[in-house]
């Protein structure tokens, strides 16, 4: 799946979580709302990064990480399952870091 697919999935999961909270006991719980705010912000940031031509890899990893984050924070409220490849996201971070240190890419 590409970054745009993962971001679309992220929006779907987020919408499911937000909708499920309306009328819920946790609807006005500060801790829950803070977590929702954190996830919304990170989703917005990944979407903003995806709009840049030079950041496709980074946006893709952030989008995928965010799906795990959404699932991890609200596992009972979303219909989604991670993939085996999600266990190796750090390898993609590693590639970004290596390229950065070698000067192949700039900060």
Name the residues that contact other proteins, by CB under 8 A. 14, 18, 21-22, 27, 30, 32-38, 40-42, 44-46, 48-49, 51-52, 55, 58-59, 61-62, 90-98, 100-102, 107
Buried residues in 2-14 as b, exposed as e (16+ CB within 10 A): ebeebbebbeebb
Decide whether 14 or 81 has the Cβ nearer to other proteins. 14
Decide whether 31 or 81 has the Cβ nearer to other proteins. 31
Q: In a 3-state reduction of DSSP, which class is residue 86?
A: helix
Q: Shortest gap between Cβ of 9 and other proteins (angstroms)? A: 17
Residue whose structure tokens are 């500060």: 30
| DSSP structure class, residue 24 | S
């Amino acid at each position: 799946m590409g970054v745009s697919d993962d971001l679309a999935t992220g929006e779907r999961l987020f919408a499911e979580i937000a909708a499920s909270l309306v009328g819920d006991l946790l609807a006005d719980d500060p801790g829950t709302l803070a977590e929702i705010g954190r996830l919304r912000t990170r989703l917005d940031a990944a979407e903003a990064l995806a709009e840049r031509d030079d950041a496709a890899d980074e946006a893709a990893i952030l989008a995928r990480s965010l799906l795990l984050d959404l699932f991890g924070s609200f596992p009972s409220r979303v219909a989604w399952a991670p993939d085996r490849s999600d266990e190796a996201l750090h390898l993609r971070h590693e590639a970004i870091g290596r390229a950065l240190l070698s000067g192949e890419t700039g900060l």
